[in-house]
Amino acid sequence: MAISAIQKSVRPADAVVELDTKSRILDAAEELFMEHGFEATSLRLITTAAAVNLAAANYHFGSKEELFQAVLTRRLDPMNQDRMQLLTNYETAAGNKALTCEVIISAMFIPALKLARDQSQGGKNFLRLLGRAYADPAPFIREFLSHQYAEMIARYRAAFARALPHLPREEVSWRLHFVMGALSYTLAGTDALKVIAQFHPTEVNNDELLLKRLAPFLAAGLRSPMANATDAHQWFQET
Amino acid sequence: MAISAIQKSVRPADAVVELDTKSRILDAAEELFMEHGFEATSLRLITTAAAVNLAAANYHFGSKEELFQAVLTRRLDPMNQDRMQLLTNYETAAGNKALTCEVIISAMFIPALKLARDQSQGGKNFLRLLGRAYADPAPFIREFLSHQYAEMIARYRAAFARALPHLPREEVSWRLHFVMGALSYTLAGTDALKVIAQFHPTEVNNDELLLKRLAPFLAAGLRSPMANATDAHQWFQET
DNA sequence: GCTAGTTTCAAACAAGTGTTTGAAAAACGT
DNA sequence: ACGTTTTTCAAACACTTGTTTGAAACTAGC
């Protein structure tokens, strides 16, 4: 008991000080889920890192799955709200003219960037967590994200369809899928960069630089002319 | 012994039946790892599905991690060999002229397509497993894939650098990273498609169609002109 | 100061984990 | 046919998992 008394008296002087139990669990869970994934992260690991009792996780969040969803909701919900608001702003500013792909992509990326920049540490962690959650096979994660993204995706598909009127709607859906994939994969895989390019360590974690290079790449892909049937078998001929 | 004699005589006629224990474990593990991920798949689940004894997994593969690596190696190794061979063929055919981005992408995609087409079922499963493994945070998986991809990546980076001589090497590395990301994400996330587009179920699993649409998209991104400094802050201005 | 409601805590629960063991069975070489 | 190696099997091992429990500590409201 002497130990716990010491810890309590020391804690306010510390850096990350004195959030309530619920926030401390969310913060620790965010980092650990990002680092190890959902299945490989135990509640004991989380509650120990958060310096709270094991039972507190179930008391405040119900179950491990609900805790994971709470971690995602806390930042994903505002970010997607931002995205839709930004898209609305652009659309009203453009009047009845269609937006360009660049502008639409900006509306997707800027809220993500804001998250990566604003929070001192949590933001970057969250983006990586989100990218990895997008590739997680667990059904409850996929269903949760589907529901969470549904409205935003519908808005952006409509915007891209207006920006690319010469493309069939189905092709627009495909390309939007590629954009979302490249974005989430890029945000998730800082480690994978080391395989492909050898950058300075300071640059590797620079999400801003990353997205500034990704956005034009994707815009060019979106604008590319539709490959017709005769072009198609140029791609995958038998060798 | 009578049973095994019968089974052996039947094997050539039947489609799937009666592989040896090692292959049965690999097949079951491939499917289950793909479906649930590494951590969420237990050895008991695998050995039960393979109809072998639990201890057989450790006997033949040593540990769960080594089993996972064996599942990946079995098909990834030949696929990457194919990719490099194909690239070599194209390069010798082109003489000292640089290859186009389309041709280089073909050399990446065709071996993946061959895998998806040839094996009746295992091929598609494996591509999805591979895409998911690429996003898995487990260190042993990331290290394994880094090592497994290193040579192929180096070859393709050099090829793209020759195809895009106007781009800085660093930009080429980024774009190669985006290509790999979009490819692995696309192969991994059949489920995610349902969020973005509502296709006929038969089309959703058609990897060939998927890659035929992805390849031109990526080629356009690769060929896009480098965004210069003045264009750059067009993208992410403060709102 | 006392009560009612909320939050914390140590301990236990039942179930599942990867791995090991030692004996039985099968397969193989000669 | 026999001795040796390889493979299978049921059982157990030591440990971790998410969740629950019931008492203790704390925090208002009056």
Residue A204 has pLDDT above 90, yes or no: no
* Residues A50 and A32: beta-carbon distance below 8 Å: no
CA of A18, C1' of D25: distance in angstroms: 19
Mean pLDDT of chain B: 82
User: Do the beta carbons of residue B108 and residue B83 sit within 8 Å?
Assistant: yes
Distance CA B211, CA B209 (A): 6
More confident position, B173 or A235: B173
pLDDT the model gives residue A70: 96
* pLDDT tens column, B156-170: 999 999 999 999 998
Distance in Å from C19's C1' to B128's CA comes to 29
- Which tens digits make up the pLDDT trace of A23-48? 999 999 999 999 999 999 999 999 99
B101 has pLDDT over 70: yes
Q: Structure tokens of A239?
A: 């060798």
Spell out a b/e string for A184-193, using b for 16 or more CB atoms within 10 Å of the CB, else e: bbbbbbbebb
Using a pLDDT cut of 90, give the percent of chain B over it: 51
Show residues of chain A in contact with B239, CB under 8 Å. Answer: 86, 89, 110
* Best mean pLDDT range from A133-147, B16-30, B62-76, B189-203: B62-76
Is it the case that residue A62 has pLDDT exceeding 50? yes
CB-based burial, A203-218: b 16+ in 10 Å, e otherwise: ebeebeebbbbbbbbb
Asked if the model's pLDDT at residue B81 lies above 60, the reply is yes
Spanning CA of A189 to C1' of C17, the rounded length in angstroms is: 29
Residues of chain B neighbouring A231 (CB-CB closer than 8 A): 216
* Whole-number Cα distances in Å, A123 to A113, A203, B96: 9, 17, 47
pLDDT at B150 over 80: yes
Q: Which residue has the higher pLDDT, B233 or B120?
A: B120
Q: What is the pLDDT of residues A64-95, one digit of tens each?
A: 999 999 999 999 999 999 999 999 999 999 99
Percentage of chain B exceeding pLDDT 70: 78
Contact between B157 and A196 using a beta-carbon 8 Å cutoff? yes
- A173/B106 Cβ within 8 A: no
Q: For chain B, which residues make up each domain, given as ranges?
A: 72-224
Whether CB of A52 is under 7 Å from strand C: the answer is yes
For residue A217, how far is the Cα from the chain centroid?
A: 19
The three state secondary structure string of B181-234 is HHHHHHHHCHHHHHHHCCCCHHHHCCHHHHHHHHHHHHHHHHHCCCCCHHHHHH
Query: Does domain B72-224 sit in CATH 1.10.357.10?
Result: yes
Rounded distance between C-alpha atoms, residue A21 and residue A19, angstroms: 7
Record: contact B37-A137, CB cut-off 8 A: yes
Provide the pLDDT confidence category of residue A209 given band limits of 50, 70 and 90.
confident
Task: Indicate whether A57 pLDDT > 50.
Answer: yes
Give the per-residue pLDDT at B162: 95
Tell me the CATH number for domain A74-225: 1.10.357.10
